Chain A
Amino acid sequence: MRIAGKGLVDGSATIGFRFDGRDYTGFAGDTLASALLASGVRLFGRSFKYHRPRGVMTTGAEEPNALVTVGRGARAVPNVRATVQEIHGGLEARGQNAWPSLGLDLMAVNDLFAPFFGAGFYYKTFMWPRAFWERLYEPLIRRAAGLGALSGRSNDEAYEKAWAFCDLLVIGAGPAGLMAALGAARAGAEVILADEDSRMGGRLLLESHEVAGRAGADWAGAVLAELGAMANVRLMTRTTVTGAYDGGTYGALERVGLHVANPSEDLPRECFWRIVARRAVLAGGAHERQIAFANNDRPGIMTAGAVRGYLNRWGVAAGRSVTVFANNDDGHRTARDLVAAGVRIAALVDVREDVAMAGDFPVHAGARVIDTVGRQSLREVVIADREGRVSRIASDCLAVSGGWNPALHLACHMNGRPVWREDIAAFVPKPGMVPGMRVAGAANGAFSTQACLAEGLAAAAAVLDDLGFKAAPVDLPEAEDGAVRIRAYWEVPGATHRAWLDFANDVTTKDVRLAAQENFASVEHMKRYTTLGMAPDQGKNSSVTALAILAETTGRGIAETGTTTFRPPYVPVSIAALGAGGQGRGFAPKRLTTSDRAARERGAPMIEAGLWYRPSYFPRPGEATWREACDREVAMVRDRVGVCDVSTLGKIDIQGPDAGRFLDLVYSNTFSTLKPGRVRYGLMLREDGMVMDDGTTACLGPGHYLMTTTTAAAGQVMRHLDFVQQAHCHDWDLRMISVTEAWAQFAVAGPLARDLLNSVLAEPIDGAAFPFLACGEVRLMGVAARLFRISFSGELGFEVAVPARYGAALWRDLVARAESLGGGAYGMEALNVLRIEKGFVTHAEIHGRVTAFDIGLQAMVSGKKDCIGKAASTRPGLSGPEREQLVGLRPVAADRAIAAGAHLFDEAAEAVSANDRGYVTSACWSPTLGSHLALGFLRDGRARIGTRVRLVDHLRKAEVLCEVTDPVFFDPEGGRARG
C-alpha cells in the first residue's frame, strides 16, 4: 500500500513488470520487493525444506526469504533477492521452490512431517540399504528441497571483469562512508566510493532523521553532488564489495545491466572488480536481528527497520495494522514513523519492563510475542504480558527488532575474529584485522547517526595522515545522537511451535539445541550439523542469534562461544561474473598461422595443437572420409611433393660466445662442434633424466644458433633454457629470445621437393651444395629467406622460412606449384602417418615418463660431456631389460586395426593388469606399406623384435595379434631423405 507524499521514488514514472505470471506496476526507484509490497503482494516464495510460505523480511542484500528467479530460458537467474532487483520494463520474475504454484504448493506437505525433518534427520534415517542413499534417497530429497534452479543451459549474456586502483576505497555510502569519502576527497586523495544500492545514502534514505538541519536523504544528495563533481572521486553504485584479500585488494560485484530494460547485447550484466586500494574504510552499516518465537516466519513478519525503511524510502506501508515487537529503543522508531504517516499501530510489544514510550497506540511493556496466525499472510499476533496473560492482536504486519549486528564481515576476511560488546549486545571488529582497513559507523558498533558521521570523518583523517595527505577542512554536521538502549533478548522461551533462525535454510532453535545435545557444541560444528548460515544470506540474519542460543544451551558465554569463520564472498557472486571473458573460446587465445585462411578456404578441418590451430587434412572433391584425404596426402609426399605449414614449432634464437657451450649443457648430444650452415637433431632431458623434448638446431653463424622445439613444448623449453641459464650458468655470455612468431616456415617434402624449391629460389640448389642437414640464407621471389634441409617425413625434405608477413603469399604459391607437380598441401593426419612409418617420435612417445634409453636414443647421451639430466638418467631402473622400450607393432593380419591406448600382453597370458607388458602410443593405417602400424612401449621390447604380442584394447573391446618390429618401418637406411 503506497502512502501519498511519502518516499523518494518518482511517482510520475510508472513502470510495468511481471511477477509469477501477473502484471504489476511500480515507480522508478522501486525494487521488486517495494513494488510488490506496494501492490499488496505478501507471498514471495516457499521455504527451502518445509515449503513454508514466505514474504519479504528486509530491505537489503541480506534478504533471506524473498528469493526469486529473474528472466527466462538460458538467461534465467535463480535466487535473486527481490530487495536488490530494481524493477524495469522488461522484468519478469517468479517465486521459487513451489509446485505447481506459489499459492498452492503441494510440496508444503513436508511441513506436516516437520517433526521428523530436524537437523541430521536424513543422515540418521536413510541409512539402509546403503546403496539407496546415492541412487534414491538423496535425489528425492534434493528435488523436494532447494531454492531456485539453474536453467542447465549456457547463458550467452555478456559479463565483465575489471581492475581499479585508488588511494582510498570507501565501502558503503551511508553517513559514515559519505563523511570518510568527503574528508579524503577534499584533501586530494583518489577515492572510490562503492555502495551496493542503486542510490547512495545508506540508512539515511530509510530513516526520517535530519542531518545538518535537513532531511538525511537531501544531505546525502548534496554530499554526493560534491563528490560526483570531483575528478579524484569515482562513485560506484550497485557495487557490493565482496571480499578483502592480501595486498589491499578487494573483490567487488557491480550490477551493470541487471536493472536495464532491453539492454544492449554488449552491456555486461555484471562486472567483477578487483580494486587495489592503499587504504580502505569499511562503512557497511549493520543488519537488524529477528527474535526467535513460534511461527516467526509468516509473510508479513519483517525487521522493524525494514518496515519503516519501506515507508521512508519507497512510501510503502507494509501492512494496514502493524504490531512492533522489540527489545530496544530502535524498534520504537518504526512505530513513530508509521504513526506519523497515518499507518495504524496495533501494538508496541517490548520485552523490557521499564520501557517508556508514549504514543497513540497500546504499549505492552515486559510482554512478548508467543505465536502468530495466518498461513499465506499474517493475520494475528499472539502475545503474553508480563504476568503471562495471553491476548491476540489482529495485525497483518509484525515489525521485529532484536537489535543490530554490525556488518563486519569484510573486516574478518583475513581470519580476524570480532569481539563481543555486552553494552550493545553485538560483535564488533577489532582494529587492524585487515591491514590498511579501518571500520567506521554502524559496522563498528557506532549506531547513532552523529557517531557514524564522526567516525567516518575520523577514519578519513587517519587515512590521510597515513598516506601523507594534508587534511582539508570538513565540518562535522549535527544529527541525532541517541544512545543504544537494548536488553539482549534472543528467543521467546517456551515456544510451542518451531521458531526460525535461518529462514533461508529452514533452521530452527530446536535444531540448534539438537546439535548441542548431540555434542556438535562448537559453533562451527553446530553450523555444519544444522546448515545454519550456509544459505545465500550466509547467516547475516541468523548466525549471531543462533550462537547466542547455543551459548545459553551449553552454558558458555557468547564471547566464549565466538562466531563462525567469515569468508568471501560477502554476497553471492555469479560464476558468470567471476569467469567473465572465459565463455566459449574466450577461455584461451587462438593462435593462427599465416596459412590459416588459405587452409580454411580449402575446407581443411582445424585441430588444436596447444593454442594453435592446424589443418587436419585438405579434402578434395570425391573424398568421402578423412582417411581418403590422408592416404592421398601421404602418397603425394612419398611419390611427388607435399607442402605443410610447420610455423607452429618453437624457434629460439641463441647468440653469444658461450652459446655452443650452453647447447652442450641443455642437449644430451654435442652442439659446440656444429659448423655454420649445418643442422643437427638434438635430444633434451629434464633434470630427472627423462626426455623433455626433441628438435633440430641450426648453426646460422659463429656463436649464433636457431633451436626448434616441438609445438607443444615451445613454452616449456623456453622456460627451461631461461632457468638453466639463470640458475646454472648466469655468467656465461649468451642471449636468447623466441622468434617463433617472426617466421612463417613451410616443410616441402617429397622426391620433387628440390624441383619445386628451385622454381622459386633466386639461385637453384643441388644435392652437393645443399646436402642433408644443411642450412643457409637464400632469396626467393625477392625476399630474404632461410632454408633448412631437414625431414620429418623421411623423404627428401626442406623447410623454408620467410618473415611472417610473406607467409600467406608464399603458402599459396608453394601449394599451387606443388599441385602443378602432382602434389599439394598436407595436414596433421598425413604428417603423423609419415612419421610413424619412419618411427620418428612425438610427444605421444616422449610423454614425460620415458628415458633416452627407452626410445632407443641412449647413444645420443654423449659420454664426452655433461648435460642436464645425464646424471639422473644413469640411476638404477632407468635402463635395462625391465624398461618398456620403443618398438614397432604390426598386426599379423595387416587389415586388423590397432588403436593407440591399447595394452600389450604375452601371447598366452591373460589380459589383466598384472600381466601388462606395455602399451600403444601411436597408430595409423600406412598406405605406403598397406598395413596398420603402431608405435608402442614393450617391456624389454628390443630383445623381443620378431616375436608376437597380444594387443588388447579393453576400452574398445578389441584384440589384435601383433608382430614386434623395429620402430622404423619404412626406408630404415634413410636413403630417401639423404638422396
Chain B
Amino acid sequence: MASLIETTACEGLLPVATQDVTLGELPFACITSVAPFDGRQDAVAAALKAMGLGWPGPGQSVRAGDAACFWAGRDQAFLIGAAPEGLAGIAALTDQSDGWARMHLEGPGAEAVLARLIALDLRPAAFPEGAVARTGLGHMMAVLLREGPQSFQIMVFRSMAGTAVHNLHQAMRAIAARAAV
C-alpha cells in the first residue's frame, strides 16, 4: 500500500530573505510536551538530566546537541529533538511535533524585525542566548527562543504558518526598505 507523503508546516512558504535577514523553516523534530505530575518534579528533572538536559527554569531553555528542553509555561516544558525517555508515568506527555511551525530568523536585522511584531524587550541583556518566551507575534501566540546574538527560533501554531510568514516577511521587507532610504 502507498505510504502518506509528509507536508511541512511552511511548505511552499519558506525560505525568504532580505538583504540582512533570512527566515527559514527548521527541519522536522519530535516535540513532546512534558508536564510533571504532582510531586514528580524532581524525578522528571533527573530523567531529563540523564538525557543530558534538565528542567528549564521559567523563560529558559536547556540544550544538549540537537536536543533541547524549552520552558513552555507553568509546570510545562517542550522536549524537542529527543524521545521522552524515562518520563512515562511521572509526567503527562503529549506529542506536539505536528502542532507547530518552527522557523529560524537570522541576521543583523533579526531583532529589529521582531520589534515590529513582539512586545518584549529583546535586547541581549534582557533576552540572552537560550532565553525562551511564550508571547504574541502580531495577533498570534508564539514561542520565541534566542539562539545566538543575531538568531532566533520562532514557533507558531501550524495552521497560522502562512500568516506568521507573511507578517515576518513584511517586517523584513520594511527593515530592508528603511536601510535603502
Contacts and interface: CB of A to CB of B under 8 A. Distances in A.
A804 B98 contact: yes
Interface string A819-842: 000000000000000000000000
Given A267-B174, A781-B4, A809-B7, A165 B121 contact: yes
B176 A581 contact: no
Interface string A12-53: 000000000000000000000000000000000000000000
Contacts of A803: 95, 97-98
Q: Determine which residue in B9, B38, B121 has the highest number of CB atoms from chain A within 10 A of its CB, and name it.
A: B38
Interface stretch (B57-65, B143-151, B156-164): B156-164
Nearest to B117: A581
A813 interface: yes
Interface in B69-100: 75-76, 91-100
Contact of B167 (A162, A260, A581, A804): A581
Interface stretch (A355-363, A589-597, A938-946, A955-963): A589-597
Contact of A809 (B5, B38, B94): B5
Contacts of B162: 590, 592
Contacts of B7: 594, 805-809
A948 interface: no
Interface in B25-60: 28, 33, 35, 37-38
Interface string A727-751: 0000101111111111110000000
A491 interface: no
A266 B98 contact: no
- Indicate the size class of the contact surface on chain A: 35 or more
B94 A653 contact: yes
A796 interface: no
A683 interface: no
Nearest to A612: B159
B108 to A, nearest CB: 13
A160 B118 contact: no
A722 B68 CA distance: 27
B158 A256 contact: no
Given A264-B180, A267-B174, A737 B115 contact: no
A274 B119 contact: yes
Contacts of A224: none
Interface residues of B, number: 55
A928 B174 CA distance: 55
Given A741-B99, A803-B97, A589 B115 contact: no
A865 to B, nearest CB: 23
Interface string A249-268: 00000001100100110111
Contacts of A781: 1-4
Interface in B127-181: 138-140, 157-160, 162-164, 167, 170-171, 173-174, 176-178, 180-181
A195 interface: no
A83 interface: no
B98 to A, nearest CB: 4
Nearest to A591: B159
Contacts of B138: 581, 586, 589
B174 A737 contact: no
A740 B160 CA distance: 12
A573 to B, nearest CB: 18
Identify which of A267, A657, A735 gathers the most chain B CB atoms within 10 Å of its CB: A735
A260 B177 CA distance: 11
Contacts of B95: 739, 742, 803
A657 B94 CA distance: 16
Nearest to A653: B94
Interface in B93-117: 93-100, 115-117
A760 B1 CA distance: 8
Given A656-B92, A737-B33, 13 more contacts: A165-B123, A257-B177, A257-B181, A266-B173, A267-B178, A581-B138, A589-B160, A589-B164, A593-B159, A657-B37, A741-B158, A782-B1, A803-B97
18 contacts: A160-B174, A162-B116, A163-B115, A164-B115, A260-B181, A266-B173, A268-B177, A268-B178, A589-B140, A594-B7, A611-B160, A655-B93, A655-B94, A736-B92, A742-B97, A804-B9, A805-B9, A809-B7
Interface of A: 158, 160-165, 190, 256-257, 260, 263-264, 266-268, 274, 276, 581, 586-594, 611-612, 653, 655-657, 731, 733-744, 760, 781-783, 802-810, 813
List of 5 A-B pairs having minimum Cβ-Cβ separation, nearest first: A735-B92, A741-B99, A742-B99, A804-B98, A267-B177
